[in-house]
Chain A
Amino acid sequence: MTSERKPFLSIENLSQSFSGLKAVANFSMQMEEGELVGLIGPNGAGKTTVFNLLTGIYVPTEGSILFRGEKLNGLPAYKTAQRGIARTFQNIRLFADLSVADNVKIAYHQHVTHTALSSMLRLPGHFKNEEIMRDKALELLKVFQLEDKAEEQAKNLPYGQQRRLEIARAMATEPRLLLLDEPAAGMNPQETQELMALIRWLRETYKLTILLIEHDMALVMGVCERIYVLEYGMLLTVGTPEEVRGDRRVIDAYLGEEVT
């Protein structure tokens, strides 16, 4: 935590505007390695836009993103993924027609070392890599209790399992920073409980740093160490769950929405 060490993730004065409308304005945040941080705010506050900026889907209008000392803005999405940032999507974006196992394998693809030619000719490199890939995929599916669904089409899974598969797929990229966009959306309380346990377990086991967007305040307050609150694209406040819960402005911002 000393100031000489480069922060794990450092966002400085990030802004993003869409034809004049500022979705994110002057947003700054810091994360240390291993932290579990929440990002909350009313609908349309710009939370998902922050994710899209972090993962290279949008190029920020202003500001900078430093990840482990390297500048990220302007990098295409696949390169950010290769630097170790993985995410899930608010509106599930699985490879719907493919099998559960293939969904995970595709995310592992960036780590294979064989060429397309060696696959076409079925050279030893192909078999070696495909074998490693299969083992890794099955291992992950076991962790996420999806191994018996490995050959099913992703679109045929029940909703909760699709959300789990999205996290499993993100984990297959072997990330250092995991971004979860409303992982508990549409889950029942019991599923949410299991999800909280899973998030904690992932973080312990894989030494992950996690940033999550969530509307379920029980979950956010339950797992996050620090919480950033966004409103109208701007940082409203940041603090521990207790501090945020007691903050008058946060309560005002959420007035009319689910306040816990």
Chain B
Amino acid sequence: MANLSVEFVLQQLLNGISIGSIYALIALGYTMVYGIIQLINFAHGDVMMIGAYVGWYCTAVLHMPFLPALLTAMLACSLLGVVIERVAYKPLRRSTRLAALITAIGVSFFLEYGMMFLVSPQTRTFPPVFPQTIYHVGPLNIKYGDIVIITVTLALMALLTLVVKYTRIGKAMRAVSFDKDAAALMGIDVNNVISATFAIGSALAAAAGVLIGVYYNTIGPLMGIMPGLKAFVAAVLGGIGIIPGAMLGGLALGLTEVLVSAAGFSTWRDAGAFLILIVVLIVKPTGLLGANTREKV
């Protein structure tokens, strides 16, 4: 807390926005899937991890530039997301919440330890895909990576908003999340919509994975657990099932974490995130942007 200058605060704010936008990208997938099939897709953080590995393979082994690598990772993970849904979640669509939740945790462990088995538990180093330039804007040090993260996130969020608002599949998604049976009666192919949701959510997670890889330089098979859990916290914070809520929640969480670290409690950072989670769940379980609903008797 030594030098609480304006520059320091602005710098932390910038870091918070960078981390927060990554959380937001992951949180979007959680929220979209929850909105459509009321499932907490625990494997989502691990899909992000796979995305990071695909991105690593593309850049480190195939020497692709950043953008093609990002797109390849997104494509690969959207396929993975669809496969996971079809194989593991679809047979459980009519079963209990507990069964679905446990399956999701099972898939999560399968991805984590399957990757460990395949590519060894060691962490890997991402090649420097960006110039290590640091721009000095006034008192601020802006890394090239910060700019990329924020730009990519904003672009993807804008794209997602457009897709959900204006395309056929986006409208179908909103219809299914409102009432699955009614949507089916109106001729919407619910299975396709659910697959599309998983594809889009997983692609966003893959993008987050690649961004984390290039930002922190190292990736590992268990890298998805903590960001995954925290992105879920972000989704709940904003109101699960609500797309703008996930963005807001992600940013809020990122900023809080940076604040806790900057105040000198960096080892307590994760506890802070979970404390926020519990408090939000108790005080307003529907999240910042959620509306209250009640069970019909």
Within 8 A of B (CB), among A181-235: none
Provide a sorted-by-A list of 4 A–B residue pairs whose CB atoms are within 8 angstroms.
A48-B297, A52-B297, A57-B297, A89-B297
Give the distance to chain A from B96, nearest Cβ to Cβ, in Å.
12
Chain B interface residue bracket vs A: under 10
Q: Mark A25-54, 1 if CB is under 8 A from B, else 0.
A: 000000000000000000000001000100
CA distance A48 to B297 in the complex (A): 8
User: Which of chain A's residues have a CB closer than 8 A to the CB of B297?
Assistant: 48, 52, 57, 89
* CB neighbours of A57 from chain B (8 A): 297
What residues of B have a CB within 8 angstroms of the CB of A48 in the complex? Answer: 297
A57→B297 CA distance, assembly (Å) = 8
Complex Cα gap A89–B297 (Å): 8
Bound complex: CA A50 to CA B297 (Å):
12
Interface size range of chain A in the complex: under 10
**With the chains together, A71 CA to B297 CA distance in Å?**
23
Q: What are the residues of chain B within 8 A of A89 when measuring CB–CB?
A: 297
**Within the complex, what minimum Cβ distance (angstroms) separates A180 from chain B?**
15
Closest 4 CB pairs of A and B: A52-B297, A57-B297, A48-B297, A89-B297
The proximity string for A residues 78-121 relative to B, scoring 1 for CB distances below 8 Å and 0 otherwise, is: 00000000000100000000000000000000000000000000
Contact with A along B286-297 (1 / 0, CB 8 A): 000000000001
Min C-beta distance of A185 to chain B, whole Å: 16
Footprint of B on A, CB under 8 Å? 48, 52, 57, 89
Question: Smallest CB–CB gap between B279 and chain A, Å?
Answer: 24
Residues in B whose Cβ lies below 8 Å from that of A52? 297
Shortest CB distance A219–B (Å): 23
Chain A residue at smallest Cβ distance from B292: A19
A80 to chain B minimum Cβ distance, whole angstroms, is: 14
Q: Mark B256-297, 1 if CB is under 8 A from A, else 0.
A: 000000000000000000000000000000000000000001
Q: With CB as the reference atom, state the residue of chain B lying closest to A89.
A: B297
Give the shortest distance, in Å, between A88 (CB) and chain B (any CB): 12
Min distance, Cβ A20 to any Cβ of chain B, angstroms: 13
B297 vs chain A, min Cβ distance (A): 5
Give complex CA distance A52, B297 in Å: 8
Q: State in angstroms the CA–CA spacing of A58 and B47 once bound together.
A: 43
Measured CB to CB, the closest approach of chain B to A56, in angstroms, equals 11
B293 (CB) vs chain A CBs: closest residue:
A19
Q: Distance (Å) between the CB of B5 and the closest chain A CB?
A: 48
Determine the distance from Cα of A68 to Cα of B297 in the docked complex, in whole angstroms.
26
Residue of B nearest to A77 (CB): B297
B190 to chain A, nearest CB (A): 24
Q: Which residues of chain B from 68 to 108 have a CB within 8 Å of any chain A CB?
A: none
Minimal Cβ-Cβ distance residue in B for A90: B297
Give Cα A219–Cα B297 distance, bound, in whole angstroms: 24
Question: Nearest chain B CB to A172's CB is how many angstroms away?
Answer: 20
CB distance from A6 to the nearest CB of B (A): 29
Quote the shortest CB–CB distance from B168 to chain A (angstroms): 30
Measured CB to CB, the closest approach of chain B to A158, in angstroms, equals 24
With the chains together, A57 CA to B296 CA distance in Å? 10
CA distance A61 to B297 in the complex (A): 17
CA distance A119 to B297 in the complex (A): 33
Nearest residue in B to A57 (C-beta to C-beta)? B297
Give complex CA distance A57, B295 in Å: 10
Q: Which residue of B lies closest to A49 (CB)?
A: B297
Give the shortest distance, in Å, between A102 (CB) and chain B (any CB).
Answer: 21
Min CB gap A178→B, angstroms: 18
Closest Cβ of chain B to A177, distance in Å, is: 18
Q: CB-defined interface of B143-163 with A at 8 Å, one 1/0 digit per residue? A: 000000000000000000000
**In the complex, what's the smallest C-beta–C-beta distance from A15 to chain B, in angstroms?**
17
Q: How far is the CA of A20 from the CA of B162 in the complex (A)?
A: 32
Shortest CB-to-CB span from B181 to chain A, Å, is 17
Expressed in whole angstroms, the minimum distance between the Cβ of B86 and any Cβ of chain A is 30
- CA gap between A60 and B297 in the complex, in Å: 15
Minimum CB–CB distance from B31 to chain A (whole Å) comes to 23
Q: Mark B11-50, 1 if CB is under 8 A from A, else 0.
A: 0000000000000000000000000000000000000000
CB distance from A145 to the nearest CB of B (A): 28
Closest B residue to A51 by beta carbon equals B297
Cα of A94 to Cα of B144 in the assembled complex, Å: 62
Q: How far is the CB of A18 from chain B (nearest CB, A)?
A: 8
A58 nearest in chain B by CB position: B297
Q: Write the chain A residue with the least CB distance to B291.
A: A19
Shortest CB-to-CB span from A85 to chain B, Å, is 15
Tell me the minimal C-beta distance from A205 to chain B in angstroms: 29
